[in-house]
Amino acid sequence: MTGKWAYHITDVTNLGAIIATSALLSDARMQGVPSTVIGHNHIKERRLTSAKVSCATGQPFVGQFVPFYYSPRSVMLYTVNTGASGRPQGCQRTILHLVTDTDTLIALGREWAISDGNAGAAHTSFYNSVNAFDQLDWSAIKATYWQGKQHQKCAEFLVKDFVPWSAIKGVGCYDSAVEEQVRRVIEASADPHRPSIAVKREWYY
């Protein structure tokens, strides 16, 4: 693999619907579809209505893309776990890391973009060349403690509209109980795709 690992976080209660539709959908595509929201509603709204991906055709909104981080233990996960987004404090236990890599995402043939920080922020820059990976602050992205580097830590890889479930290579879970829940959902589905499933406690706070 010459690309970068890519992590999308979602609540375990959303997994059945993801598999049933055979895809991770962008927030724009999810409008009206029941799901467990884990982020700030006002931030999602900004990404859907004002923040744009400047390098993409027609400058679509960030919310029209499926977002991935380049490492686990994201700033978003930390924020959600503290209760700041409206969910109960300590709620990270039910949040999954859906893992793939940027080579796989690029090979989908869908429009994609790289942000150099939080894709919803006004001062973020966007690129559609893999050369932009060299411009990211990898020390911040990989850091366990990122005070003062929050924006850089939030760099994203964005894929337009949807990412097929078949592109997901692994599922990282907080504990064995959630791992078993994930296993049951996947095994009960008619979809033949079977990503690896593992407890990755070090990916959480």
User: Is 183 designated active site?
Assistant: no
- Tally DSSP H helices, then E strands, for the chain: 7, 10
Q: What is the DSSP string of 178-202?
A: HHHHHHHHHHHSS-----EEEE-GG
What is residue 73's DSSP assignment? S
Q: Which of 47, 73, 87, 111 is catalytic?
A: 47
Determine which one of 29, 73, 111, 156 is catalytic.
156
CA angle 153, 80, 186 (to 5 degrees): 95
**24 beta partners:** 163
Helix, strand and coil content of the chain, in percent to the nearest 5, comes to: 35, 20, 45
Active site residue 47: yes
Catalytic residues: 47, 156
